Chain A
Amino acid sequence: MSFTSLNFLLFITVFSAGFMALARTRAFTPFLLVASYIFYGYWDYRFCGLLALSTFIDFYCGLKIADSPDRSTKKMYLFISLGANLGMLFFFKYYNFFADSAEIALASLGVEIGRRTLDILLPVGISFYTFQNLSYGIDLYTGDVKEPERSLMRYATFVAFFPQLVAGPIVRARDLLPQIQQRPREIPFEERFAGLEKVIWGYFLKIGLADNAAVVVDARFHQPEFFNALQHVIGLVCFSLQIYGDFAGYSLIAIGLAQIFGYTMCENFARPYFATGMRDFWRRWHISLSTWFRDYVYVPMGGSRTRWLRIRNVVITMLISGLWHGANWTFVLWGAMHGGLMLVEDGARRLAAASPVRLSGPMLAAGRLVMIGLVFMVVTLTWLPFRADSLQTVWTILGIIGHGDFGLQQGNQQASTLIRVAVAGLIVLLVDALVERGAGRRYAGTNVVARSMACSALILVMLLFGSFANHAFIYFQF
């Protein structure tokens, strides 16, 4: 079920009551497991079977990897785990894409193979829990996780842990499994309250910012021909805000909920639109995924030991990252653009390092602002293929922007929606800027009553400006 549905409100109320009654008992882990499967199965009960199968395979392989006396047997079970996980992911997410692409490629060579695609339902969150399972097997093999989990129930609870099951953050076994093993820890009230604040801020990002921006964006991508260059530029900026609000909002709700119940999860977003470069952007955007790719793809391929390895590995990693997001050439293009931009930045850094000019003081601050603006613009442009449903749409919109009609059309029916986006966007910008400047720690020391009032104010703004049309979270499709 979605965090923004009324069903979830009912679910979390019942779960909280169960948590308060059972948290200190042996019944809590089974309760958490059942609750997580109910949460996940609410979309489609059939998804639970795949989740259970994936869980069982990795649990079994994990035990075998840990207990096998020799390296070759360990490796065999690691490959079984990798094969099973990637096989499932390929079948459910990529089969149709590759079959379709092959069909088109062969047709262009004059070879007709007929329709080979299948009518497959993509299980929600499969990319997330597959990567979580993969990291468990690999960490056991490399020794980053010393001991396997020997309780199937605890391992299944780790995989299905409901706050992060569907759209992350992708939590590693070494971080979350010990917390599942020990049951929820007793945490100070301030920490729980901070969790509540994260949840409320997450909802604001989703309902206040992302879902309002979605109205503007959807209209433009549905019928791009009906909008001029200015409207498409506005649409792209709105999509930048939408995807940030949507995904960072989901992550914050997940992290905040876990924190309220005594679990700690890693930060997933760190004000990415304040990044001063592409490297910096990827240190701030979807942190759990970018560190996953760094640790399990980029570094094992040789990382940046040489300049050529760096170029090769950045390109491969970003292309895989693009493909991870979706089975479409648009995502591949998005990954390629990011890979290219990172390499361009590498070159610029080398040039800057060789330059005798050194900025300092106000010039440095101004330079940082310029870079923030530049990175935002570039990242916004890369969101075009990410949002478009086909390369044809990408070219259409680029053509319209290139045409250069930046006239302001009167009678714009979306003016009031744009005002909502602007209001929510300014609040988010202000809060993020304050946190970026270190105000978060000072705020954490503020009286709880005052912080409760701030939360109330945020909810009131949401009531007045939020979009309650219940748009699905974007990352559910991945």
Chain B
Amino acid sequence: MYRLLACIALILATVTAMDRVLASALGDLLLRSSDRFMTVYRPFEAEAQPAIDPGANPGGKPGIKPPAGQEEQPNALLVKAALTTQPRPTTAVKPANGPADVLVLGNSRADNHFPVSALQDMTCGRALNLGMGGAPTVLSALLWDDYVERHGAPRLLVLEPTGLVDNPHDLADLPLLAYYSPRIDAFVRQENQELWMANHAFNLMTFNNNQTMRLIAGLLKPAADRTLVGAIPDPMKAQLAAAPEETMTADAANWQALDHIIASAQAQGTRVAVVITPYFPTYAGKLKNFDAFFADLKGRLPAGVTVIDARRAVDKDELFMDALHVNEDGVRAMFAAMEPDLRPLGSCPVDALASLSGTGNTTH
């Protein structure tokens, strides 16, 4: 029996040692993925990106130098060590010297409704979509803080706000990012002690999630837009029609996170657009406080925030993938409807805007 125990000890020691080595190698490897979340944690190489003409950017801050330390980014393999240092203090105003001029935050409705290519066309700037399936606004705030801390503030923040009604304790695909972010690691520890302990006992378990597969795919090919393809099936329509009524409620933690994101963005000179994307009409009809909830949201937003209410911009069944997501054609229709409001927030030359008839956006 003692020999068996010795073998068990040998197996455990091997597993522990290999776990550390493999997790470290995998962590460094995945950092090179074209997946959008890795863009946050990978040092930004400005020369590799298309140059943006500051003069053509109405919302930009021409002439402002990158923040201190930005020029001395460590190489990819050293980035994890760099991230374990204390967060860098942020200055009051930062230019969009990071990988994105336009940053998108929110849950899957942000992820699937704002293809980077469409946003780039509409805003004439580099776009990065950090929408995460199932992510409450609390998680969006963590991603925002991580992004700003590493790259400075973008010129425009597009915020899809319906993560407000998601469970603020849901970690979605966040745990993997804890490997790269002390802030997210601390949050995972606060929300799920058991998961945090497991991930620290065996670091490979941090990579045991769906996000890893996407990151690996991002190593093999450039990340594509995540717009959904297909139409809502008839059984789902019938189920939605028969479903009981619901009430939209948002947790205080999500409201605070929303306030934090907006305040932080505005303090750094970032334009903020809160864009409410379409709901499947049948489902919207089941939400008792559908209009009241969003009226309340608009009322809470501080001055200077642009609200684009596109909830009813798409209404045909065939343009939806499910109750909460429009499909490829739906996204096209949504962007067409939002163009007068969204395009002026971007960096497009003035003559490109001249052709548009009226803006109609609401600014608080």
Contacts and interface: CB of A to CB of B under 8 A. Distances in A.
B10 A468 contact: no
Nearest to A417: B210
A189 B205 contact: no
A339 to B, nearest CB: 34
B324 to A, nearest CB: 13
B64 interface: no
Given A416-B213, A468-B198, A463 B10 contact: no
A223 B228 CA distance: 20
Contacts, number: 77
A463 B202 contact: yes
Nearest to A454: B11
A124 B198 CA distance: 29
Given A225-B233, A410-B228, A460-B19, A453 B14 contact: yes
Nearest to A451: B7
Given A410-B230, A448-B7, A463-B205, A419 B213 contact: yes
A128 to B, nearest CB: 28
Interface string A248-279: 00000000000010000000000000000000
B29 interface: no
B76 interface: no
B228 A226 contact: no
A463 B210 contact: no
Given A419-B213, A460-B15, A189 B208 contact: no
Contacts of A196: 4, 7-8
A415 B213 contact: yes
B7 A464 contact: no
A465 to B, nearest CB: 7
B81 interface: no
B321 A411 contact: yes
A463 B236 contact: no
A410 B204 contact: no
A20 B198 CA distance: 29
A193 B19 contact: no
Nearest to B233: A226
A466 B208 CA distance: 7
Interface residues of A, number: 32
Contact of A189 (B4, B226, B230): B4
Nearest to B211: A416
B207 A410 contact: no
B233 A416 contact: no
A452 B236 contact: no
Contacts of B208: 463-466, 468
B52 interface: no
Interface string B1-19: 1011001101100110011
29 contacts: A19-B1, A20-B1, A192-B3, A193-B3, A193-B4, A193-B7, A196-B4, A196-B8, A223-B239, A225-B233, A226-B235, A409-B229, A410-B228, A410-B230, A411-B226, A411-B321, A417-B210, A419-B213, A449-B10, A452-B14, A453-B14, A456-B14, A460-B15, A460-B22, A463-B205, A463-B208, A464-B22, A465-B208, A468-B208
Question: Lowest 3 CB-CB distances: which A-B pairs, in order?
Answer: A225-B235, A416-B213, A456-B14
